[in-house]
A = this chain, B = another copy of it.
Amino acid sequence: MKEFDLIKRYFTEQAVKRKDVILGIGDDCALLQPAERQHIAVTTDTLVAGVHFPESTEPRAIGHKAVAVNLSDLSAMGAEPTWLSLALTLPEIDEQWVAEFCCGVFELCEYYNVQLIGGDTTQGPLSITITAQGLTPVDKYITRSGANAGDWLYVTGDLGDAALALQHLQGKVNVAEQYKEQIFDKLDYPKPRVLVGQVLRDYATSAIDISDGLISDLGHICQASNVGANIVLDDLPISDIMNETLGKTAAIDVALKGGDDYELLFTVSEDNKVGMETALINTGVAITCIGQLNGSEKITTTMDNKPVSINSQGFEHFSKVDT
C-alpha cells in the first residue's frame, strides 16, 4: 500500500464535525476559524517506543496515550481541546496495527469532540508526535506561575498506579493477578482531566499535569511561582493496590516520584477553596488536598506532623547520560 493510500484510508475517513474546521485533512494545510475572543492553547508531545511506552504496549493503548498526554497538557492550562495534528513514524506498514492505533486515537477524539486536522506518516523507528490545540476565553487560563504562599495544593485521582504497572513490567515488583487490569488501565489508558481543567480556570492560581512525577512537577510550579511547598504525606491519594503491593513507605515514594500519572496538580487560594471543591463535584473526579504553599524556596514533606526528608528526583529522559 502506498503512503498516501494509508493516510487516506485511516486518517481522512473521520468526518469533519467541528464547525471551526474550514478544511480538514487532504490539502497542504488544514484551515481553522476559531470563535472570536478566544486564546488558542498549543502543546506538543512525542512518545517514543521503548522510552515513553514499553514496546509490548498494545497499539490501541499507544494511540489513546499519545492523545491523552496532549489533552492533559491542555487541561492543565484550562483549555477546551479542539484540534489535533498527528505525526506517526512506523517501521513498516502493518494494517492491523494502524487500524487499532487509530481506534485508540479516535475514541478519545470523539469523546472530547476533538478533530484530527492533519498529520504525516513516515517510515522509521516507532514514535508519535501530536500537536494538540484548544481554546480558552480571552484571559481565562491557568499557568504554572500564578501560585502564592498560603495557597492550598490539590491533586486529582490517585498517584503512582501507572508507575507501579511499569515496575511490574520491568520485573521489579509483582502485582497480584486480580489487580493487574486496574493498574494497567492507568498506565495504558490515562484519563486526561479535561473537565476539571475547564472548571479550574475560575478558581486555580496555578496548575500543571503530573507527567514526570509529583515532586518534579510541583518543582516547576514552585520555580515558576517563586514559592515553596509542604506535602502532607499522610494525605497523598494512594490506592489500596499500591499500599498492599508495595507497603506504605514504598508506596509513598512511588506516589511522589513515579511518572505517567497525568493527573492535575493545582493550587487554590484559601478564599476559593470551598467554591472550587463545590464546583468540581459535578465532574465526578476525586480531588485531594495534599499540602500548602509557603514562602520558602523548598519542597518539604511531613508525616504525622513531623518533617520527613525525600530525595527530590523525578523522572527525566536522558537521565542515563547525566551521571
Contacts and interface: CB of A to CB of B under 8 A. Distances in A.
A3 B313 CA distance: 13
Interface in A104-146: 117-125, 127, 129, 131, 133-134, 136, 138, 141, 143-145
Contacts of A157: none
Contact of A129 (B33, B87, B136): B87
Contacts of A92: 318, 321
Given A43-B118, A48-B123, A129-B46, A321 B85 contact: no
Given A42-B118, A83-B42, A129-B87, A124 B51 contact: yes
25 contacts: A3-B318, A6-B318, A26-B224, A28-B43, A28-B74, A28-B77, A29-B77, A29-B79, A30-B41, A30-B43, A32-B39, A33-B40, A33-B138, A34-B40, A44-B87, A44-B129, A46-B129, A47-B122, A48-B123, A51-B123, A87-B129, A120-B129, A122-B127, A122-B317, A125-B125
A177 interface: no
A176 interface: no
Nearest to A6: B318
A46 B87 contact: yes
Contacts of A316: 2-4
A93 B318 CA distance: 8
